[in-house]
Amino acid sequence: MMFTETALVRKKKRTETAAKVIFLLMTVLMIMPLLLILGYLFYKAAPILSLDFLLENPRKGMRAGGIWAPFLGTMYLVVISLLISAPIGVFAAVYLNEYARENWFTRIINLAVVNLAGVPSIVHALFGLGAFVLFAGIGRSILAASLTLAIMTLPVIIASTKEALASVPMAFREACWNVGATRWQTIRNIVLPNSISGILTGVILQVSRTAGETAPVMFTGAVFFKAIGEGNIFAYGLFDQCMALSMHLFTISTQVPDVPKALPYGTAVVLLGTVLLVNALSIGLRVYLRARKKW
């Protein structure tokens, strides 16, 4: 005898269908503004986008030429700041999650990490100016700006790494301890490999923030204009000042008259494209690592 749907089952199916449609519409409404913004930017930037635009320096008072100097400066700032903040953030999270005991001291540290994540970027800029440029004597440079950005990105990396470490089942650790492995051997060989995808999430979140910040680099290392060797990826030194895409976009949009209309849009597209490319590569790596999990 075949089962027949009751009125209650049909009502539940209609409710489920309605919920799916509502959630789909909400998703579309979230994505549409992003697609419209990207489409508008690409449409406005189309006349100027080319390989020469990327590889040439700004010319004629930044009214012509390309964006090689600010593009390379942004890459330096992003890479160096992540090279500083990622190891420190991961090891700090490992200590807090795997070694530190639950007491008033660790609670204060966790509270400080959460509060630091909410500090406005202009405050980080003033801190970087005082701590690295003036007190440490580094001067306005790529290193000072990268250190400032690293301090700014640490909280999210620490928080996301702690969550990733906590997601690894305690049974994994206990199994290692039962066969005589030390705590560090367990962390190095079991906990970190199984939490690497979550750790990458925190790093991915900081790429776009680091690339788009203006105030911290403006106070500590960015310069209005600096000509460098076109196509030379080693044109900047750690103690040199550099141009940055975020500050360059602000400058040509507000401070330089008679700029071609497509120039600011082209700069914005390159900045967005760079962030999206780095994020896509990181997400692809994260998906690959997650697929290798055995649990």
Q: Tell me: the pLDDT tens digits for 144-191?
A: 999 999 999 998 899 889 988 988 888 888 888 888 888 888 998 888
Going by pLDDT thresholds of 50, 70 and 90, the confidence category of residue 130 is very high
Alpha-carbon distance of 155 to 6, in angstroms, equals: 53
Return the sign of the alpha-carbon dihedral for residues 112, 147, 156, 91.
negative
pLDDT band at 132 (very low <50, low <70, confident <90, very high): very high
- Given a contact cutoff of 8 angstroms between Cβ atoms, the answer to whether 148 and 216 are in contact is yes
pLDDT, tens digit (0-9, with 9 covering 90-100), for 65-81: 889 999 999 999 999 99
Instruction: Report the amino acid identity of residue 135.
Output: F
Distance (Å, whole) CA 275 – CA 272 = 5
- The predicted structure's pLDDT at residue 28: 92
- Find out whether 155 and 116 touch, Cβ atoms under 8 Å: yes
The phi and psi torsions of 259 (rounded to 5 degrees) equal: -80, 135
The residue-averaged pLDDT of 111-117 equals: 85
Q: 224-251 pLDDT, tens per residue?
A: 888 888 888 888 989 999 999 989 998 8
Domains with residue ranges and CATH for the chain: 51-291 (1.10.3720.10)
Range 2-24 average pLDDT: 85
Task: Measure CA 71 to chain center.
Answer: 16
**Mean pLDDT score of the chain:** 87
| 223 has pLDDT over 70 | yes
Distances (CA, A) of 136 to 81, 88, 154, 178: 17, 20, 20, 48
Identify the helix (H) or strand (E) that includes residue 270.
helix 262-291
> Both tokens of residue 38?
């990207």
Q: What is the DSSP string of 145-196?
A: HHHHHHHHHHHHHHHHHHHHHHTS-HHHHHHHHHTT--HHHHIIIIIHHHHH
Residue 23, CB-side half-sphere exposure with 13 Å CA sphere? 6
CB 241 within 8 A of CB 226: yes
Over pLDDT 90: what percentage of the chain? 32
**Rounded to an integer, what is the distance from CA 152 to the centroid of its chain?**
11
209 CA to centre of own chain: 5
Q: What is the pTM of this model?
A: 0.85
The residue behind tokens 């060797």 is: 229
- Whether the pLDDT of residue 140 is over 80: the answer is yes
Biggest CA pair distance of the chain: 86
Which of 266, 268, 275 has its CA nearest to residue 46? 266
* pLDDT of 190: 87
Residues 247-285: pLDDT tens digits?
999 888 888 888 888 899 999 999 988 888 877 877 787
Token pair 């106070």 in the structure block, residue? 219
